[in-house]
Chains A and B, each alone.
Chain A
Amino acid sequence: MEQIDAGGSTTVAASTSEDSSLDPIARVRKLLFRQMLVGIKDGRFFLGSFHCIDKQGNIILQDTVEYRSIRRSSPSPTEQRCLGMILIPASCRTSCHVDCSIEEQLSLIQLKE
């Protein structure tokens, strides 16, 4: 069992070099409370603040807004509604994006390799 000091997990401002040195869990921890955009299989998108993730990759978002297109054919206008707290199972998640600054983004990509 891994114990990571969660001290100031909410601090957003983190330097690039620091970020890449951390392990993935610590980095994900830094993403908590940020706006996250999750796309799912049926074409809907959910925008909410990142609240929690488990080992299986299920994500919980808070204050979520659902965006969906009105028609199956594209392009089509979207409609939205508020959902509050939702759980997105990993099995239906197709994409996941986080709102961040350009520098941060670079660090995130670096880490991927």
Chain B
Amino acid sequence: MVKEPDREIALNCSGKCPAPDTINRQNPSIQGDLEEESSSIDQEPRSCGDNSVWAHVSPLLSAACSDLNEGELIHGDNFNLFAAMSALEIMDPKMDSGMVSTFYSIDEAIESGFAPVPISSDRTVDVQCIIDIMDHLLACEATWHMGHSLAQTVFSCIYVLRPERTSSHALLHSFCRVIRATCRALVSVVSDARTNEEEDLFTMTYGLPFNGDEDGKGLLLLNAVEETICRQLRACKATSSKRRVFEELEPLQTNPQLEEGFCKALLCRIRFRKHFLHALNCMRRPQGRGLELARKHIAYCIAELESVLSSVEFLSLETVENGKNEMEESTTGSGRHPIGFDPNLNKRLSAPTPPRAIKLLSWKKAIDYYVKLLHNLDQICAFKLEPDLDAVLQFVVQFQKSRPDLVARAHLQLLLVQDGKLYGRDTFLTICARSLALDVTKNHGLHLNEYILQLNQLMINLLKILCANTPWQRRKLGKILNDWSIFNVQMGITVGHMMQQVTTPRTPKNGDKSALILNHIYGWLEEQIHWVALRFLVLGFDLKLYSPSEYCMVYWYMYIILWKLAEKAHFRVLIIVHTEERKAKEEDYSRDMAREDRISLWVLLLKCQTSLAQGLTVMIAALRNEGMCSKSQGPFNTENEKFVQHFGLLQKASLPKYDAYESFSESTCHARLDYLPVYECFRDAQKMAKEIKVGYANDPDKLAEVVGLEQVAEHNIIAVNLLCQDRCLKVSFEFIHHPHFATAVLQEKWLWSQMGLVSQEPALFATSIKENILSGKKDATIDDVVEAAKASDAHTFISQLPNVYE
């Protein structure tokens, strides 16, 4: 016997076990196969052979237990304490999902009248309850979208779980059917798009009654119900003279004073459901054919949501004053608890262990969520589906700025990539050739070229990744960069060979033309790689991955990447102009001026950003060298290590091709404030921004960005000026004007020179907390500040303040 002192569950040995007949009384379904006096249960004939019986061993066990020493176990050879620790503990509420909650099963819940149909014999109450159920379902659905399982949210409703029960109640029945159909549509979109990797609970439908084909009819039924309620509404509004016409029509409920309000409240909820499902169905049509129609439905949805919100006033009239707080938290518009919901009903389905209890979004928050979702979907529907890669990439980046949720991102991805083609329509070869103004309509056999096939796959991956959420996206982008660069190197070698062969014999053949195209695509590929790298760096700002002490290296890297990207894009403009001019000469081909202008504008924008990044690099480096800004040297890792941590993936993809850190430290170590290029860079950026602004006059999003860039440049010029005059100013970098380009913010130093004198005073001085702490140590970084605050237990208090450390 091995002694195992570790696993001792502090439970008393239950004295005597109940007599055999007690067991049979407790569970009569187990037939006692009695032999002599002992109980032998024959519940499992499979496991119990002909000659064997179930022997009662409780007394033996308790005898053995009392003989065992403290900490001893009885176990076999294959026992592994570590594995045994993972055993699910029965009757532990956090581990045992089979523990009996309110109901044994859905059937029992139904039998006990937990979810009656109709909900009440009083028709007014019935309608009221249905509205509550509708509201609660909306909150459930929004919670589901935020990444919880269906079983705990929408399918916690018995009416949704068992739609056939409600068939006598047209309103409830059709509504639940439509809810189920909506869930199905969304599950299929999200699982097709596979953007759900990061929120994998979304598509889990195991064990849920999810295959009802009748759900498709839900919309028809709902339409009929809507029609009836419309008539009821008209009837109650009609004057007495007209009333006769409607006399045969039964009112919605019994209280004539409330009739209008209830009709309206129901109608807007029903219509929202209807249009939402229609919009989803339209968006799923191949090649984006239903987008226009979807847009109309989305507009209806948004309007109906507004009326849903305004119906609160009427609905919450009767509810007793619950206090404002409770109303805010409530999952229904009226503030009442809905009937027929139990989140524990499905808990045995999800896993051996019970899922964590979740908090549903409140009804108000659910509506806010839907408004955001609908706006995001609208943004997708408004996209013009141009077969132009630059436009697609810029659209996706713009779309991601509002941090759209899973459902919207899945829809975008499905729209962009269908059947391995852009919008299910254009192959990536044509897209790519189009962005170079090349003609690939004549079949050069290019679409079978292995590089083109690979490129196709890379592009599909890229687009899919761009539709993921930002943290996921950044990680994946870093990883695919390597694939891209390997591909780039391979293609470079092959294309180099091909071009050599082309240049020697001067006979234009089909093969030569495809070699030329491949050569252009090779150049274009490098541009894309740099674009991905830039996106990778910029996402770091969105995710707040860089600390202020690292801004210098980040901007240096951005400068390198931007510079290269601008150069490549400029080459492309030259190629386009060249080929199109030639075509124009040959066959009176009208030049695509608009696109050419757009690309050159983009190149200018890139150049403007390049100068800004360069300016910021030099400026921060100068400040650092003159000791006015802390060096990025923490106690744990050197600057070089930090550099590798941030840009390791880029360096692996050989962007740039030389040793980046060495070049970074060389180029920044001599920077001084009175060094001229600082001004030059910012001035250049400012000048370019002014030019670009004219070009983007009718694109508000772009214009806002360019204005931001201009302001950054302007403010930084002033900052550099001031710093040159007064070296005692304190500098910090904030993202006031642009999310990725920092603006230098100056503060008078006299404040904290005085701080030293008053440091014993308990009250916090009327400046920022950061400075209060900084007053002790002049070269502290914000990280040090936080550390110091934590050490003195003030961090939690400070982080709750509106401006945190500022």
Contacts and interface: CB of A to CB of B under 8 A. Distances in A.
Interface stretch (B55-63, B227-235, B683-691, B798-806): B55-63
B64 A53 contact: yes
Contact of A53 (B41, B47, B59, B65): B65
Given A25-B64, A89-B91, A83 B27 contact: no
A108 B58 CA distance: 10
Given A47-B47, A94-B17, A99-B54, A23 B90 contact: no
A25 B88 contact: no
A54 interface: yes
B71 A78 contact: no
Q: Which 7 A-B pairs have the closest CB atoms?
A: A24-B64, A97-B54, A24-B63, A105-B55, A52-B75, A28-B64, A87-B87
Nearest to A55: B68
Contacts of A29: 74
Contacts of A76: 29
Given A6-B1, A81-B348, A101-B52, A90 B90 contact: no
Interface in A64-113: 66-72, 74-76, 78-79, 81, 83-102, 104-105, 108-109, 111-112
Contacts of B493: none
B8 A55 contact: yes
Interface of B: 1, 3-4, 7-14, 17-18, 20, 22-23, 26-30, 35-41, 43-44, 47-48, 51-65, 67-77, 79, 83-84, 86-91, 98-100, 104-105, 107-108, 111, 348, 352
B9 A54 contact: yes
B11 A90 contact: yes
Contacts of A95: 17-18, 20, 22-23, 39, 56, 58
A88 B100 CA distance: 16
Contacts of B55: 97-100, 104-105, 108-109
Interface centre among B7, B62, B90 (most CB of A within 10 A): B90
Contacts of A52: 73-76, 79, 84
A37 B44 contact: yes
Nearest to A71: B108
Interface size grouping (class) on chain A: 35 or more
Contacts of A1: 3, 69, 72
Nearest to B79: A52
B48 A99 contact: yes
A42 B100 contact: yes
A21 interface: no
A48 to B, nearest CB: 10
B29 A69 contact: yes
B47 A24 contact: no
A53 B67 CA distance: 12
10 contacts: A32-B74, A37-B54, A52-B73, A54-B7, A72-B104, A81-B98, A87-B89, A89-B9, A95-B58, A100-B55
Contacts of B61: 28, 53, 57, 59, 96
A57 B16 CA distance: 12
Contacts of A72: 104, 108
Q: Is the interface of B mostly helix, strand, loop or mixed?
A: loop
Given A47-B47, A89-B89, A97 B1 contact: no
Interface in A20-71: 23-25, 27-29, 31-33, 35-37, 39-47, 51-60, 66-71
Nearest to A52: B75
Given A89-B11, A89-B90, A90-B13, A55 B70 contact: yes
B57 A31 contact: yes
Given A56-B13, A86-B90, A111-B63, 18 more contacts: A6-B77, A32-B75, A39-B27, A51-B84, A55-B65, A55-B68, A57-B61, A60-B84, A69-B27, A70-B108, A71-B105, A72-B104, A81-B352, A84-B88, A85-B86, A94-B17, A95-B17, A108-B60
Contacts of A70: 104-105, 107-108
Contacts of B9: 54, 56, 58, 87, 89
Given A3-B1, A57-B65, A85 B88 contact: yes
A10 B74 CA distance: 12
A58 B40 CA distance: 22
A107 B378 CA distance: 77
A71 B107 contact: yes
Nearest to A35: B47
A2 interface: yes
A16 interface: no
A13 interface: no
B17 A96 contact: yes
A27 B59 CA distance: 12
A108 B422 CA distance: 74
A76 B43 CA distance: 14
Contacts of B18: 94-95
A92 to B, nearest CB: 5
A45 B27 contact: yes
Contacts of A86: 87-90
A96 B39 CA distance: 10
Contacts of B57: 28, 31, 36, 96-98, 108
B11 A24 contact: no
Contact of A91 (B12, B48, B67, B83): B12
